[in-house]
C-alpha cells in the first residue's frame, strides 16, 4: 500500500530521504495553505532549531514542500526519525497546478516557541532539496531568508 508524505524541512533533500527510506514511487511539488514555516523545534541531530508548521488560517500563507509517494511501512521509518514528540496528521496540500492531494501525512510539533535561526548545514540541506525538486527561485529565496524575522 502506498501513502503520501509531505516534507517541508530537511527531508526535502533527496539524498537524506534515500538514506532514510530508500526508494519512493514519485514526488510532486506542493504547498500547505494557511500555515507558515517556523524554525522552533530543537534538534539534537542538527544542533539547533529545525522546521515546523504554524497555523495562521490565512490562505495566502503557504508552506512549500514535496509530497513523496512511499510504501506504508516507510512512514513508520520516518516516524522513528521525527521523534516521539512529533505529531502526524492527515492534511490536504495543493499541487503547483492547483490540484488537491488529499490525506497527506504531515509531521509537526505542538509548541509556541518563536522562530529561530537554523544551523547553517540544516538550512543548506533544505535549500539543496528545493533545488533538487525544481522549485522556482522565489520559493528558494523565501526559505533562504528564513530566520527569526
For cell 512529533, what's the residue? Answer: 86
Cβ-contact 143, 126 below 8 angstroms:
yes
Q: Which residues pair with 2 in a beta bridge?
A: 71
User: Could you tell me the residue ranges of all domains in the chain?
Assistant: 2-144
Q: Which residues are paired to 95 by β-bridges?
A: 30
E strand residue ranges, the chain: 2-7, 26-33, 35-43, 48-55, 62-71, 87-95, 100-108
End-to-end CA distance of the chain: 41
Q: Is the pLDDT of residue 107 over 60?
A: yes
- pLDDT, one tens digit per residue, over 79-93 is 999 988 999 999 999
Question: Is the domain 2-144 a CATH 3.10.490.10 member?
Answer: yes
Task: For residue range 32-57, list pLDDT tens digits in order.
Answer: 999 999 999 999 999 999 999 999 98
pTM: 0.94
Amino acid at each position: 500500500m502506498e501513502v503520501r508524505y509531505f516534507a517541508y524541512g530537511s527531508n526535502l533533500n533527496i539524498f537524506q530521504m534515500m538514506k532514510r527510506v530508500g526508494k519512493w514511487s514519485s514526488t510532486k511539488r506542493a504547498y500547505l495553505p494557511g500555515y507558515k514555516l517556523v524554525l522552533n523545534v530543537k534538534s539534537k541531530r542538527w544542533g539547533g532549531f529545525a522546521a515546523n508548521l504554524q497555523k495562521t488560517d490565512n490562505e495566502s500563507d503557504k508552506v512549500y514542500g514535496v509530497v513523496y509517494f512511499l510504501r506504508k511501512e516507510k512512514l513508520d521509518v520516518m516516524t522513528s526519525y521525527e521523534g516521539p514528540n512529533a505529531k502526524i496528521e492527515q492534511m490536504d496540500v495543493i499541487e503547483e497546478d492547483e490540484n488537491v492531494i488529499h490525506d497527506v501525512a504531515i509531521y509537526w510539533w505542538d509548541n509556541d516557541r518563536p522562530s529561530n535561526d537554523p544551523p547553517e548545514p540544516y538550512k543548506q540541506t533544505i535549500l539543496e532539496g528545493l533545488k533538487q525538486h525544481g522549485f522556482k527561485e522565489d520559493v528558494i529565496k523565501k526559505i533562504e531568508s528564513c530566520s527569526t524575522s
